Amino acid sequence: MARVALDRVRKVYRNGFEAVKPASFEIADGEFLVLVGPSGCGKSTLLRMVAGLEDITEGSLSINGREVNGVDPAERDIAMVFQNYALYPHMTVRRNIAYGLKNRGMAKDRIAAKVQEAARMLNLTEHLDRKPSQLSGGQRQRVAMGRAIVRDPALFLFDEPLSNLDAKLRNQMRIEVKALQRRLGVTSIYVTHDQVEAMTMADRIIVLNAGRIEQIGTPSEIYHSPASVFVASFMGAPPMNLMRGAIETGAVRLSDGTALMQAPAGRGGAVTLGIRPEDVHVGEGPADFDVALVEELGAHRLLHGEVAGQPFTAHVLKDSPLGPGRHRIGLPAGALSLFDPDTGVRL
Amino acid sequence: MAHIPTTSDRAPAPARLLAAGRRRAPRIRWGGLVDHLVLIAGALFMLAPSLMLLQMSTIPDEQIMRTGPSFQIGDRFLPNLDKALNESMSFSGETTGRNMFRNSMILGFGFAIGKIVIAMMAAYAIVYFRLRFAMLAFWLIFTTLLLPLEVRIVPSYEITQQLGLLNTWTGLIVPLIASATATFFFRQYFLSVPEELVEAARIDGAGPIRFFLDILVPLSRTMVAAMFIIMFVYGWNQYLWPTMISTEEGRFTLVQGIKQITQGLEGGHIPEFGRSNILAILAVLPPVLVVVFFQRWFVKGLTDTDK
Ligand SMILES: Nc1ncnc2c1ncn2[C@@H]1O[C@H](COP(=O)(O)OP(=O)(O)O)[C@@H](O)[C@H]1O
Ligand SMILES: [Mg+2]
């Protein structure tokens, strides 16, 4: 198993583009770390540097205390699962899974045993003699996983492994991948742009934005106390409500002047207020919510509209009688996040 | 008109299908018939010269001189075949059909295989390695498309001669290989292979040579087949270059040897039509067989996107 440490790792592509700004973090043994962020934010670049597929421009990467900046991917004791699976199309499933072992000179009978074991774990036994083109997307995904697990690597790297699957299969595979990782206890870095995947699978999440780490934390920390406006709006569906507000005369107020809570000491002026839709008390409170649209989601409903002239969403249970119109709402102090309106950083 | 349920409407699906099939059967599709007639006529038109050759190889040469091609099938085929394969047309005794056929095979295979091997390796280097001036190298190779052997034949001959390669297989085949067509096709093909495949192979511990042999070559097999057809036929049909390089009769190819007919005419006696007709058929056969055998791969190679 492995501990991984990045120390001010930075990537500048040959065309001068800085895809990853100096990033430092550590991954504990057996941890499932998810890198999440919008497309183009540098997640794959960061992962590929850990894999050794991309040179590290600056900084140091170490696995189990050994710096591996210059080490070949094959020597890093890692396995990687790619978004498009990257299976060898002309080889059977069996040979696909065995290829890495064969290249390492493992004895034939041991390879056969390991392939069998991996295939059993992934329900691929009856497909071992098929070609990848004869498999469904989910099965191909499993073969890619099989190729990774037979090697008993110290570190799993996943680059959006589920994003080519349909939604139902994705949910199922999400659970399978996570369960497998738990069972094998292998340290993993998992890249995704899907915040649901990040929230449900991660032990810890790193949120990336434009090559910069916005926040590192457990799913709960990231969700409940986002470190920036970016994290607040990126994580969670629907995202956190963000509104212009101000700290005036000892209170935090909406832009229409409604006082929400006591001002924290030593602050004043404009702030950005954030609150999760499910933390809003609909029915009573100091503010007015003009509901324009009700979104029916079965288990619950989302009310969309405006508060103090700004877009706002609240979450209510399925038997709530509330419909379009003006309602009073309360924004509990404990659930409110305050951000600096210029830098977007949490106050 | 309103829909009236009938028995066939209520019948289970397979029965309904059968009924539909029966109803459609007697209808002749005139469009299809015309298509086929046109195709058959075209095929006959293309086949006619070969059939004529075949017919004329079964009758005595004098009769060809007198009547030309006819519909008569004579008894001279086997004697002519024997003569064509085993009898030489020259003093040296080395220009037998058998011998020339073998030489043509050496040229066809040598050229096709040599070209494919070199082109694949060149394309591999250009596409997968971060070479200095890779682009320049590629365009240099590419410009050879503008300089086929016929254009550079004098300097090529001079170099071949200075290297002492006249009347050698090397001298015959290597200068023909020097052109970019296959390199270009393989380059385009390799560029379309997903990059993740290389990366997966790297993580799987495959070095550059392993990746090439284990993954890239098998992946390219349809492309190789397509190239093989084109190159084999091209090499097989070479006339000018072999005529210049191979002056020893023992190295004549079939395409070269067929010109012997006209030499016979100049000599004043009756040319050996029967034999040369068989040689001509022999010269056509291997390219046809190669195309027939590889055509499935050929189409796949040029259109397949399943990588
Ligand atoms: N080889 C490259 N050269 C230059 N820029 C690149 C290269 N690869 C990726 N980039 C840029 O780096 C940024 C991050 O890319 P990537 O890590 O693939 O993003 P993500 O995986 O988060 O979608 C993107 O803006 C992309 O355009
Ligand atoms: Mg990516």
Domains in chain B: boundaries: 97-303
For residue A345, tell me if it sits in a domain: no
Q: What is the mean pLDDT of residues A23-52?
A: 95
Same-domain status, A189 and A252? no
- Kindly list the strands in the beta sheet with A18-27, ordered across the sheet, starting from the edge strand earlier in the chain: A18-27, A4-12, A58-63, A66-67
Confidence bin at B268 (pLDDT 50/70/90): low
The answer to whether A279 touches A332, Cβ cutoff 8 Å, is: yes
Pick A65 or B14 by higher pLDDT: A65
Domain's final residue, options A200, A217, A234: A234
Q: Is the pLDDT of residue B20 over 70?
A: no
Q: What is the mean pLDDT of residues B200-209?
A: 94
> Given A79, A86, A90, which is nearest B196 (Cβ)?
A86
**Chain B interface includes A73 (CB < 8 A):** yes
**Nearby residues of A215 by Cβ (< 8 Å), 6 or more positions away:** A205, A206, A207, A221, A222, A226, A227, A228, A231
pLDDT at A278: 92
Closest-CA residue, ligand 1 atom 6, reads: A13
Q: What is the pLDDT of residues A174-207, one digit of tens each?
A: 998 999 999 999 999 999 999 999 999 999 999 9
What is the architecture of the domain spanning B97-303?
A: Orthogonal Bundle (1.10)
For residue A344, tell me if it sits in a domain: no
Whichever domain contains A328, its CATH number is: 2.40.50.140
Look up the domain containing A249 and give its range. Answer: 241-339
Pick A186 or B93 by higher pLDDT: A186
C-alpha A113/C-alpha A292 separation (Å) is: 62
Among A87-96, A235-244, A281-290, B262-271, the range scoring the smallest mean pLDDT is: B262-271
For residue A119, tell me if it sits in a domain: yes
Q: What is the mean pLDDT of residues B224-238?
A: 92
Same-domain status, A281 and A159? no
Same-domain status, A215 and A273? no
Q: What is the mean pLDDT of residues A113-128?
A: 93
Q: What is the pLDDT of residues B132-169, one digit of tens each?
A: 888 888 888 888 888 888 888 999 999 999 999 999 99
Percent with pLDDT over 90 in chain A: 76
Q: Do B306 and A133 touch (CB under 8 A)?
A: yes
C-alpha A153/C-alpha A79 separation (Å) is: 6
pTM for the whole structure = 0.82
Percent with pLDDT over 90 in chain B: 39
Whichever domain contains A185, its CATH number is: 3.40.50.300
Distance of CA B50 to the CA centre of its chain: 17
Find chain B residues with C-beta within 8 A of A89's C-beta: 219, 306-307
pLDDT at B178: 80
What is the crossing angle of helices B97-128 and B181-191, to 10°? 40
Same-domain status, A298 and A215? no
Structural domains counted in chain A: 2
Q: Is the pLDDT of residue B19 over 60?
A: no
Q: Is the pLDDT of residue A14 over 70?
A: yes
Its ipTM equals 0.85
Same-domain status, A264 and A212? no
Q: Do A73 and B202 touch (CB under 8 A)?
A: yes
Find chain B residues with C-beta within 8 A of A82's C-beta: 196, 199-200
C-alpha B51/C-alpha B44 separation (Å) is: 9
Ligand 1 mean position, distance from CA A17 (Å): 9
Confidence bin at A262 (pLDDT 50/70/90): confident
Q: Which residues surround ligand 2, an ion (CB under 5 A)?
A: A 44
CA distances from B59 to B66, B80, B107 (A): 11, 9, 32
Q: Is the pLDDT of residue A237 over 90?
A: no
Same-domain status, A268 and A313? yes
Q: B43: which 2 tokens?
A: 């095929």
Which has the closest alpha carbon to B277: B46, B79, B131, B1? B79
For residue A80, tell me if it sits in a domain: yes
**Selection from A43-52, B24-33, B224-233 with the highest mean pLDDT:** A43-52
Find chain A residues with C-beta within 8 A of B199's C-beta: 48, 51, 53, 73, 80, 82, 86
For residue A29, tell me if it sits in a domain: yes
pLDDT at B307: 45
Which residue reads 């020597």 in tokens? A75
For residue A326, tell me if it sits in a domain: yes
Among A54-58, B61-65, B195-199, the range scoring the smallest mean pLDDT is: B61-65
Ligand 1 mean position, distance from CA B181 (Å): 34
Same-domain status, A100 and A8? yes
Give the gyration radius of chain A's Cα atoms. 24
